[in-house]
Amino acid sequence: MDAAWLEDFLALVDLGHFSRAAEQRCITQPAFSRRIRALEEWVGTPLFDRDVLPVTLTAAGERFRPVAEETLRRLYLGRKDAREAGRLAAATVRIASTQTLSVSFFPNWVRTIEGFERIQATLNLTAAHMAACEQMMLRGEAQFLLCHDHPATTHTLASEQFRSVHLGTDMLLPVSAPRPAGDGPLFTLPGAPDAPVPLLTYTGESGLGRILAGAQTIERSGASVTPVFSSHLTSVLVAMARDAHGLAWAPLSIVADDLERGRLVRVADPDGDIPVEIRLYRPRARQSPAAERLWSLVSGQA
């Protein structure tokens, strides 16, 4: 059924004449009559008594009239709400971010974007592990992805369908709780075969876990470690390291304060740190005006 048939129906109810209703609906009278007939065929019974002028509703037409009025009212209201939702969606920039960067980098980064007010949009940030962020980008649920990156790793966005811009740098370094005497790390590398170092490690969904695996830092060092706990949350691994459950690799941006306060200590020299990039990814296809304005500001400053 065509919604225009309901509008035709109500116009004929109001005016009582096919010619006047057709004129109001801006169509010819034969075309108007065919649409009224199509509606009656859809309902399955005549809705108008055509033997009198002005035409009047049949009993079936009287029963159908409030249904037509309510249906059109709800359609118009639904259309209005949908358009408003579309307007708001167009003015919203959706960013997916790894959970680590959503805390350690994103707030300060947004503050440093010159001309940010010109975006004229609401930022919507969703924090998740790297695998979930990738899926959000592939499904079009996010317009940008903020993540750590390293040449030794690949991910699903490293293709011709996406492009990225460098926003900053970070360092991955091994940390441990200090010894009770405060004279060094509780856990040290490389460890011994008969006493491997307990390792607090990232799960496979974690972007940082992929970077550690790709860089093969542990393998190349010959360290003897045994995984005792895993999580995709850097904050959880750092908390476990603070509580002396093992050694963890963590971004300097996350553990800098712990190192300064002595709650954590480095396990190796800075020469062994893993430099990582902070990058913002986007699809190559053109996006909403608000998203393009953000990209223009960010890429220009980068």
Give the residue-averaged pLDDT of 279-285. 92
pLDDT the model gives residue 160 = 81
Q: Tens of pLDDT along 243-281? A: 999 999 999 999 999 999 999 999 887 877 899 999 999
* Integer Cα distance of 137 and 114 in angstroms: 25
Task: Work out how many domains the chain is built from and give that number.
Answer: 3
* Integer Cα distance of 222 and 190 in angstroms: 7
Q: 174 and 257 share a domain? A: yes
* Integer Cα distance of 171 and 215 in angstroms: 13
Q: Does the residue 74 lie in any domain?
A: yes
Q: Tens of pLDDT along 82-131? A: 776 666 556 788 999 999 999 999 999 988 887 777 777 888 999 999 99
Residue where one domain finishes, among candidates 88, 103, 124? 88
pLDDT the model gives residue 217 = 75
Q: 133 and 200 share a domain? A: no
Q: Tens of pLDDT along 183-236? A: 889 888 876 666 788 999 999 889 999 998 888 777 777 778 889 999 999 999
Q: 139 and 185 share a domain? A: no
Q: Does the residue 13 lie in any domain?
A: yes
pLDDT the model gives residue 223 = 76
pLDDT the model gives residue 261 = 93
pLDDT the model gives residue 95 = 94
**Strand pairing class (122-128; 92-98):** parallel
Query: Does residue 120 or residue 172 have the better pLDDT?
Result: 172
Predicted TM-score (pTM) above 0.85: no
Give the residue-averaged pLDDT of 122-142. 91
Q: Does the residue 149 lie in any domain?
A: no
Q: Does the residue 208 lie in any domain?
A: yes
Q: 121 and 80 share a domain? A: no
pLDDT the model gives residue 87 = 64
Q: Does the residue 151 lie in any domain?
A: no
Neighbour tally for 4: CB within 10 Å = 12
Q: 272 and 181 share a domain? A: yes
Q: 82 and 15 share a domain? A: yes
Q: What is the CATH number for 203?
A: 3.40.190.10
In whole numbers, what is the pLDDT of the chain averaged over residues? 88
pLDDT the model gives residue 132 = 92
Is the Cα dihedral 162, 168, 174, 178 positive or negative? negative
Give percent of the chain above pLDDT 70. Answer: 96
Give the residue-averaged pLDDT of 45-59. 93
CA nearest neighbour of 179 among 170, 171, 188:
188
The boundaries of the domain holding residue 84 are 3-88
Q: 75 and 8 share a domain? A: yes
pLDDT the model gives residue 86 = 66
Q: Does the residue 126 lie in any domain?
A: yes
Q: Nearest 5 degrees, angle CA 230-CA 234-CA 236?
A: 65
Q: 42 and 120 share a domain? A: no
